[in-house]
Chain A
Amino acid sequence: MSDPAETPVADDGVLVVRRGPGANCSSIGSAVEMLFLSATVGTAILAAVAAALDPKDDDGEADPDEPATLSPPSPEAP
């Protein structure tokens, strides 16, 4: 992928979202859902990430047993 520095800056500050971790020991993979995203789903994923990272939603008392997770919506049919 390109350098995140070359990615247009979004209003919410999220430049790149990469689902992981993948577990292959010989090459690095990318989810096919992300290869063929519709614009609507892509926007929803970015919004979900931005919301998860929004510092004003963070009370600073996170339960260490319940790390924040991101569950982007499934890609819709083209």
Chain B
Amino acid sequence: MSAAVTRARREPFGAWVRLGDDTLVAVDRRLADRLGLPPAAFAPDHVPGPLEVHVAVTARCPVDCAGCYQSATHDGDHVPFTQLRKTLHDLRAAGVFTVAFGGGEPLLRDDLGALADEARALGLTPVVTTSGYGLTAARARALGSFAQVNVSHDGVGGGYAAVRGFDGVAVAERAIATLRAAGVAVGINHVLTRQNVDGLAATVEHVRALGARELQLLRYKPAGRAASLDYLARRLTPAQCDALGETLRALAPTLGEGFSVRVDCALVPLVSRSLPDAATLARFGVFGCEAGGHLGSVRRDGTAGGCSFDDAPGAEGIAGFRAFAAAPPEPCASCPLRAVCRGGCKVVSRHLGHGFAPDPECPRVIAHRAADASP
């Protein structure tokens, strides 16, 4: 196999390959052959496995975020290490590239570093998200196998407290400094709500100055403790969604080397009016709702889901995500971004009573429904 490739998975189209900096590349069959990848045979009904899987490692958390999507508690259970080890082996066998550990608060596990070591030994790229509570210099040094550790930080100027219901900024920023001192790559998880979105530019500058190399923007999702009426008072307004797309467009060329901003799968429809054509987005690996596709999850009980928010029993959710993506109704069916967006966030559509349906907060869906409703 080519020295440029650190891991590869054959596909009917050719292969997915991973480079040394964790860039994923899909190549055609001819190039896959030239790279020396072993051939593979596929059934006509072959369903590709996920590229990235999110693994819940604990239901325990020392803090009480108002919108915790996992409803974690102070006395929640850890997932047994033996179960997680089996999960990692299963993911490797399925050809998964990246495994993201989440909770609860993963740092409450004394064996978190060992989990990352295990993933690395299997050729997986391990990453993790933390609030920073419980991080010490010694713990940080034990996290060296992680490709990146994301620390939750919902913004300066009161943004953090507005989103989570308490002010954990000092803890988050101490964790960022501690991780950086230990040589661990740090990213930031930043949940966007109508209360903190106006501070985005200031937050970008702030976390960059702290030494983070990435800011991951997350849409606020109505799951766990956030699955309540309060969601309606926290979600971005249509005007904020429109402004966000243009804010990101202006931000992109200013980021330069060494720092990146990412949008999550659920934000793609909200900024869709600012995006280029689907072919360009697809060429550069932009992911909309990949639940049950390139994305998967493993719940605390070890069962598989379409994404971290998929709480449907068994594989029902995965089947629902896939069926929707294969044949969505209007306006997704004729949307030029359909192939990338894949209908937006089903966590939102299900919470708002639409089931597996076009994202009701997508501006294109809103416009379509308004047109249908007009006489």
- Name A's B-contacting residues (CB within 8 A): 1-9, 12-37, 42, 45-46, 49, 52-53, 55, 58-62, 66-71, 74-78
Contact = CB atoms under 8 A, between A and B. Distances in A.
Counting contact residues on chain B (CB < 8 A from A), the size range is 35 or more
12 contacts: A4-B26, A6-B282, A14-B25, A16-B284, A19-B285, A23-B148, A28-B52, A31-B261, A32-B261, A49-B25, A59-B3, A76-B253
Given A1-B339, A7-B279, A24-B264, A53 B4 contact: yes
B36 A34 contact: no
Given A24-B264, A61-B3, 20 more contacts: A15-B28, A16-B284, A19-B23, A20-B24, A22-B187, A24-B262, A25-B54, A26-B307, A28-B294, A29-B216, A29-B263, A31-B262, A32-B262, A36-B249, A46-B283, A53-B4, A53-B5, A67-B20, A69-B20, A76-B253
B285 A23 contact: no
Interface string B1-28: 0111110000111101101111111111
B357 interface: no
B35 interface: yes
Contact of A26 (B28, B54, B148, B278): B54
A53 B35 contact: yes
Nearest to A26: B308
Interface string B324-341: 000000000000000110
Interface centre among A13, A21, A35, A67 (most CB of B within 10 A): A21
Contact of B264 (A21, A29, A52, A76): A29
A35 B281 contact: yes
A60 B4 CA distance: 10
B163 interface: no
A43 to B, nearest CB: 10
User: 3 tightest A-B contacts by CB?
Assistant: A18-B285, A25-B102, A67-B20
Interface in B21-79: 21-28, 30-32, 34-36, 52, 54-56, 69
A71 B257 CA distance: 9
Dominant secondary structure at the A interface? loop
Dominant secondary structure at the B interface? mixed
B288 A1 contact: yes
A26 B290 CA distance: 12
Contacts of B189: 24
B265 A27 contact: yes
Given A1-B288, A67-B6, A23 B150 contact: yes
A74 B255 contact: yes
Nearest to A18: B285
Contacts of B295: 27-28
Contact of A16 (B25, B36, B56, B262): B25
A47 to B, nearest CB: 13
Interface string B181-222: 000000101000000000000000000000000101111010
A2 B31 contact: no
Interface centre among A8, A23, A42, A60 (most CB of B within 10 A): A23
A20 B97 CA distance: 10
Contacts of A32: 248, 251-252, 255, 260-263
Nearest to B35: A55
B281 A1 contact: yes
A74 B252 CA distance: 9
Interface in B295-313: 295, 307-309
Nearest to B189: A24
B281 A19 contact: no
B286 interface: yes
